[in-house]
Structure 1
Amino acid sequence: MATKSDIMLYTEGTPNGLKISIALEELGLSYQVREIALFQNEQKEPWFLEINPNGRIPAITDKDESGQEIKVFESGAILQYLVARYDKDHVISYPYGTKEHWEVTSWLMWQMGGVGPMQGQANHFARFAPEKNPYSLGRYVHETRRLYRVMEGHLAKSPSGYLVGDRVTIADIAIWPWVTAYKYSGLSSIDEFPNVVQWMYKLLERPGFERGRHVPKPHIYLDMNRLSEEELNEKAKYGVQWIQDAMKRDAAA
């Protein structure tokens, strides 16, 4: 039985959004979901900007002990909020101040400052740029591959197969949705990183990951890894003009 909470998750089925639904499922929390219509620019509407002034997903609202509304945005901050408030038994975390806690924090920041931005840019230049720019694509794909190599070396030394210690943590949760989207982001394969591949499928065996990856709709990225480049580019066509329009709006704001 899920533990009651007042959490409302504002999300879409992107890697950053999936981090939060997976964490919520791993913690066994009840929560509500509000799918944000990104391609209708719902994330830019005034009501949503009151929750996240940056106009991005994911975001959550919750209530404190006195009933006051709490608003948290940025996926890393949300993950830290969830464990600080709801993970008293350290199901997906370690006690604050322990060496494991700081290792988890380090890997979380590694994802937020490295894998997410680099792979996100690789995705943009692989699928959504109006013109192919080999230098830009190569820059971000190679940096993403370097980051995967860092993770590969670390996991090779992990007895548990997790990033930190003997359990899954918010570090694993933050990185996993990005790794599942490797091919859509321009990496043709990750077979050169066998420990990363093993880690990815080990986590998929967890019920929390299986449930959380399908919020707010079925997870697409693992299946997309089996598609050809032509098929992937065809699927991405829907977003090319939307991204160009969004760039123009942001520049004019």
Structure 2
Amino acid sequence: MDIQTYNEIVKTIKSHYGLTTDCLPLLREKFPSIDKNTLSSITMHEYQKRMKYNHVKSAEVMNMYYNLYKTAVDRGDNPGIILRISQQYDVTPCLVAKLILQRHFNDVNSINSDNDSSSQTNIKTYMRDTTLIQDPSLAYEVYLCTLYDTQYSPVVETIKTSLGQEYEIKLHKEMLNLGLAFRDEEHLRKYGYDKTPDVKLEVPIAVDGFVINWVESKALFGDEDVHREYMRNQYLSYWNR
């Protein structure tokens, strides 16, 4: 992809205000020649950057979201209350839902108000299975969030994990088809490597004049920020391997 097209895609995403489910159809219509998975990956990364600025996990914000939700329920608003709150504050639905759930369970003394690991685990459990939430209105609201949030819902997290495993399998098959000897992550961990590439070649190969010792597979679009982050947190640890 040329840089001009990429910049146009990013500009379109940044100018969109609302749910990613509405943004993706707009991108596919505007950039029909770009694979939908590529557009989805770019959108995901841009929204993650946006959430770093927009999503604040403070008691004040938690109370504000919860009060807005309770006021809307008492007023008899139609379902989709949390979705509308998320659009109003430009925060993805599941992130808003988590804070509302946290405050809800604080009020009924089901979990502590502090953010210990057990509380977070419980919130994740309720997000994965909304039928466990005893308040039927809240359960349905959270369920809607998991359907409409294409970035942070439990379903999306499962898809990401599955997709990553699928790409690793494809990589292993391709290495075998090429007749290249390699070690995978499981083998490398047995020998004490804390951070491991998907594939470490037993015998290095040359590609376009570069010596290749290892291969890392990522099921996402690699813009400059992504490469910079992985270089700092992962790739540099593979040096001289």
**TM-score class, shorter:** under 0.3
Q: Using CA pairs below 8 Å that are at least 6 residues apart, which structure has the higher relative contact order?
A: 1
More helix by share: 2
Q: TM-score, normalising length from structure 2?
A: 0.27
